[in-house]
Amino acid sequence: MGILDFLMGEFIDVIHWTDDTNDTLVWRFEREAHEIKYGAKLTVREGQAAVFVHEGQLADVFQPGLYMLETNNMPIMTTLQSWDHGFRSPFKSEIYFVNTTRFQDLKWGTKNPIMCRDPEFGPVRIRAFGTYTMRVVNPGLFLREIVGTDGEFTTDEISYQIRNVIVSKFSQAIAQSGIPVLDMAANTEDLAKVIMKRIAPELAGYGIELPAFYIENISLPEAVEAAMDKRTSIGVVGDLGQFMQYSAAEALTTGATQPGGNMLGAGMGAGIGMAMANQIGHMGQAQGWAVPPTAPQQAQLPPPPPVEKVWHIAKDGETTGPFSRAAMGRMAQDGALDRDSLVWTAGLEGWKTADEVDELAQLFTILPPPAPAG
């Protein structure tokens, strides 16, 4: 083996890159003094491209494959051509590996609400968010326009700029689409296609493209959504008058069955509830509603009469009663019951003076005047 063969074997490099990350777009092959040796082997794998930069200028772009870097196929000066510099070439060369695979599930969203004019609601503000897929289609242009001399370039460094482009084009597309807000959810796919066409020329100037773009959600301000919910509720209810009548009957019936409810409330609740139910049933039949069959018509019984309150009187540690309200009135006339007498009836919280109970206090205000002298 000659000395020239020996020297050439000593300076052969193997240049390659295996990516163990999920966000690296560009990686620079680090070589001492940035010198690429004569006969170096360059391996470019699928999903990669290698950009060769010589003396600060883009010299060539290598697609997937195995390459031998020699003077007969490389526009560079190698170290073995510079004997007068002691095998140290004054020409600097660099190789940047560019990841050309798809980077998926990248997020985008409107930072501030977008103002647009809706044909039904007028001026409204909307927000939107979604995902997109990005890849580098022109490694040389991407390196020259975006990366520069960055030795390790990740998706985070370009995603912010892409989001700005997306939001800008999205705002224009929404404002010019004329699609009502309520119909946007059904047209997200068409909107996404329109936005992709608008974005493509600008991103092509960076050497990248978006193979996929998705709009996941378009939302309105909370106040507008609350108003729409109320409108939807009214539509579900149908006839608002009938719904209010039914709600009133339900409230009366429910209140009468609660603990502490008196018989009068129970009777009124049951009577009104049945009357309202019959009325709603007749209305439903008149309008063609599906109403279940009812039992044979029977004579409507009047509601039960209210149960009269009875009273107890406490005096000197003993209780007497029960007394009807008429009896209490007679005792008030006779002086056996006065305003300070302690009384109690069902539903009353503890013993109270007769003057504190409205029903009994009236007995002392309507007493007849003393009989005239004979």
pLDDT in tens, 335-348: 788 888 888 887 77
Torsion over CA of 40, 46, 47 and 50, rounded to 10 degrees?
Answer: 20
Residues 6+ positions from 148 with CB-CB distance below 8 Å: none
Q: What is the pLDDT at residue 170?
A: 87
Query: What separation, in Å, do the N-terminal and C-terminal C-alpha atoms of the chain show?
Result: 161
| pLDDT of 295 above 50 | no
Look at residues 209, 17, 14, 33 and name the one whose alpha carbon lies nearest to residue 98: 17
Which of 150-164, 257-271, 337-351 bottoms out in mean pLDDT, i.e. has the lowest?
257-271
pLDDT of res. 212: 93
Q: What is the pLDDT of residue 138?
A: 94
pTM of the model: 0.55
Range with lowest mean pLDDT among 53-62, 157-166, 264-273, 356-365: 264-273
pLDDT at 83 over 50: no
- For residue 87 the two structure tokens come to 């095998």
Q: So what's the pLDDT on residue 235?
A: 65
